[in-house]
Amino acid sequence: MKKVLELKNVSKKYQAKNGEIEALKDISFFVNEGEFVSIIGPSGCGKSTLLSIIAGLEPKTEGEIKLEEKIGYMLQRDSLLEWRSIYNNVMFGLEIGHKKTKESEEYAIELLKKYGLYEFKDKYPNQLSGGMRQRVALIRTLAIKPKILLLDEAFSALDYQTRIMVTNDIFKILKNENITALIVTHDISEAISMSDRVIVLTKRPATIKNVHTINFEMENRTPLNCRESPKFSKYFDTIWKELDVHA
Amino acid sequence: MREKNISDDRKKYLRKIRTNKMLVIAVQISILILFIIAWEVLANKGIIDSFIMSKPSRILDTFLNLSSNGLLKHLGVTLTETLIGFVTGVVLGVFIAILLWWSKFLAKVSEPFLVILNSLPKVALGPVIIVWVGAGMGAIITMGIAISLIVTILEILNGFLNTDKELIKMAKTFNASKFQILTKVVIPANISTFFNSLKVNIGLSLVGVITGEFLVSKAGLRLPYSLWRPSI
């Protein structure tokens, strides 16, 4: 299988007035094409920093990152621009990259139609539900045709029921569009239900504690139906213990 | 937004909004009329001294008289000065705010100066402005700008700096340049700040212009009512 992303000994130190903070230490892993990989760890351990570094939003201190394909990025909040219609929000990424051509516009319209948002294209974000807004944000990212998607706690701003449905929704969309995903989350069940592998990080400075391969051995696995598998709670327990959460 | 099939409830709701809007305007007009009537009546009854406070009917008389004596010309002059001062102040203010947003270093350097300039009584600068710009319309407009400029800069800059960081991060995930972040996120996100600042500024510009006219005017609203001339 083709590796589309590979990290070798990546470290990150922050310089602050009151000293140096070591956020990431010696992180190495890879992601294969079409794979869904989750990164999970205690809050504040530097998971989001890792994604920012991969996306090139922040410089790394040491190490090497090999990135084969174009990436897209999804944040915790949908960050839709309230003054733009849904259609113009979807166009945002294309506009920024000066890629707004007839072709790319047609592709975005096709995505809107495919995922049930076309009839809302002239509405404004505040007229849409949280789940729909997140879907618009996803289409905005997909419109630039990324091959790898980085999801940074992308569902944590949604309420529980919506989150489960949106996770399911987005999982299907990504599989459908044949996109590789790297997911950062603090939600163990979300990590297990969505991914092929779960990387567990330690607390700061974050190092890789363990990598779990998740395999439910079922056809047409979705985040919703794999929650019913007996293996689900087994995975959950193992990872829970590893995370070593203290209240 | 236009909707095709409007339900009865929707109609009722829309009607309610419209009624509410009209009610606000009606009450506003009533307050104005009541104020004028009360003023006139109290002045006629001698409860307030109409020599000092004047009264609406007398103002109207004077206004009609002055119209034939060129009040409109003076009104025009003041209005022009205010508008020029206002527009220049806003454009310059927004431009400087953008500059300071762009460069954190510049913003840090200029911060104490802005605070001091803001608290400075600009009226006291009047004589200096006259010396610099000359006693004429220029000085008056400069006065108008001086009063509104710093407030504009501070207000707009504050709005810019408080733009939702998540929106900026989102733009960065699409590799937006700083200029794109400015034009596509920061400025549109601050339209309401901008309009608020306009509201405050039109008033401030007028104050500046009238103050300027007190000092140097050969024409303008202040002039016809002056018993006092600057002795510069």
**Same-domain check for residues A206 and A175:** yes
Which amino acid appears at position A40 of this protein?
I
Collapsing DSSP states into helix, strand and coil, what is residue B160? helix
Q: Which of A104, A127, A146 is the last residue of a domain?
A: A146
State the pLDDT at residue A246: 62
Tell me how close the Cα of A95 comes to any Cα of chain B, in angstroms: 9
Contact predicate A149/A141, CB 8 Å: yes
The verdict on A172 and A122 lying in the same domain is no
Backbone angles phi, psi at A57, to 5 degrees: -80, -25
A141 burial level (CB within 10 Å; 0-12, 13-18, 19+):
buried
A20 and A51 co-located in one domain: yes
A76, closest residue in chain B (CA to CA): B166
Inform me whether the C-beta atom of residue B194 falls under 8 Å from chain A C-beta atoms.
no
Would the CA dihedral through B178, B183, B184, B185 be positive or negative?
A: positive
Give the DSSP H or E segment for B190.
Answer: none
Cα dihedral A215, A220, A226, A228, rounded to 10, equals -130
The C-alpha atoms of residue A221 and residue A207 are separated, in whole angstroms, by 30
Q: Compute the count of residue pairs across chains A and B with CB atoms less than 8 Å apart.
A: 39
Q: Within this chain, do residues A141 and A152 fall inside the same structural domain, yes or no?
A: no
Nearest to A233 by CA among A168, A195, A189, A199: A189
Boundary (domain end) residue, out of A146, A165, A195: A146
* B93 CB-side CA count, 13 A: 31
A158 and A57 within one domain: yes
User: Any CB–CB contact under 8 A between A79 and chain B?
Assistant: yes
Q: Which domain holds residue A99?
A: 80-146
Domain count, chain A: 2
Last residue of a domain, one of A127, A146, A165: A146
Instruction: Give the one of B169, B170, B174 whose C-beta lies nearest to A97's C-beta.
Output: B174
- For residues A85 and A45, membership in a common domain is answered with no
pLDDT of residue B117: 87
Task: Spell out the per-residue pLDDT of chain B, length 232, in tens.
Answer: 455 667 888 888 999 999 999 999 999 999 999 999 999 999 888 888 888 888 888 888 877 776 666 777 778 888 888 888 888 988 999 999 999 999 989 999 998 999 888 888 877 887 888 888 877 788 888 888 888 888 889 999 999 999 999 899 999 999 899 999 999 999 999 999 889 888 888 888 888 888 887 777 666 666 555 443 443 3
pLDDT of residue A140: 92
A81 shares contact with chain B (CB less than 8 Å): yes
Distance (Å, whole) CA A124 – CA A110 = 19
H helices of B45-183, where? 50-53, 56-68, 71-102, 104-119, 126-133, 137-161, 165-173, 178-181
Closest by alpha carbon to A243, among A187, A190, A201, A185? A201
Contact A212, A226 (CB under 8 A): no
Domain with residue A168: its CATH number is 3.40.50.300
Rounded to an integer, what distance in angstroms lies between the CA atom of residue B64 and that of residue B180?
54
Residues B81/B220, Cβ–Cβ less than 8 Å: yes
Structure token digits, residue B8: 């009865």
- Any A CB within 8 A of B71 CB: no
Tokens coding B96 = 């400087």
Contact by Cβ (8 Å): A148, A5: yes
**A185 and A111, same structural domain?**
no
Architecture in CATH for domain B70-225: Orthogonal Bundle (1.10)
DSSP A57: S
- Are both A101 and A217 inside the same structural domain? no
Using CA atoms, how far residue B10 sits from A123, A129, B50, B102, in Å, is: 18, 20, 53, 46
What single DSSP character describes residue B231?
A: -
**Is B192 part of the contact surface with chain A (CB cutoff 8 Å)?**
no
Determine the 3-state secondary structure of A153 from DSSP: coil
In a domain, A31, yes or no: yes
Which of A49, A79, A98 best tests the B interface by mutation, with the highest count of B CBs <10 A?
Answer: A79
CB atoms within 10 A of CB B211: 18
Nearest residue on chain A to B1, judged by CA atoms? A123
The radius of gyration of chain A from alpha carbons, rounded to an integer in Å, stands at 18
Contacting B residues, span 149-178, partner chain A, CB-CB under 8 Å: 164, 166-167, 169-176
Amino acid at A157: A
Distance (Å, rounded) from C-alpha A81 to C-alpha A116? 20
* Three-class DSSP category at B54: coil
Number of Cβ within a 10 Å radius of residue A48: 19
ipTM, 2 decimals? 0.83
Instruction: Determine contact, residues B53/B113, Cβ cutoff 8 Å.
Output: no
All residues of chain A having their beta carbon less than 8 Å from the beta carbon of residue B191 are 83
pLDDT recorded at residue B232: 33
* Residue A46 and residue A151 in one domain: yes
Is the same domain home to A46 and A85? no
Give the other-Cβ count within 10 Å of B113's Cβ. 10
Instruction: List all residues 6 or more positions away from B207 whose beta carbon is below 8 Å from its beta carbon.
Output: B147
Answer yes or no: is A75 within a domain: no
Residue with tokens 């706690």: A153
Which residue from A145, A188, A144, A196 is spatially nearest to A171, judged by alpha carbons? A196
Under a CB-based contact definition with an 8 Å cutoff, are residues B78 and B194 in contact?
no
B-chain CB neighbours of A92 within 8 Å are: 171, 174, 184
A90 by Cβ neighbours in 10 Å (0-12 / 13-18 / 19+) ranks as buried
pLDDT tens, position by position, A156-174: 777 888 888 888 888 888 8
Report, as ranges of residue numbers, the positions in chain A whose pLDDT lies below 70.
245-247
Pair (A224, A117) in one structural domain:
no
User: Domain check: are A203 and A171 in the same one?
Assistant: yes
Residue A182 lies in a domain: yes
pLDDT at position B231 is: 37
Q: Which two structure tokens, joined as six digits, stand for B173?
A: 């995930």
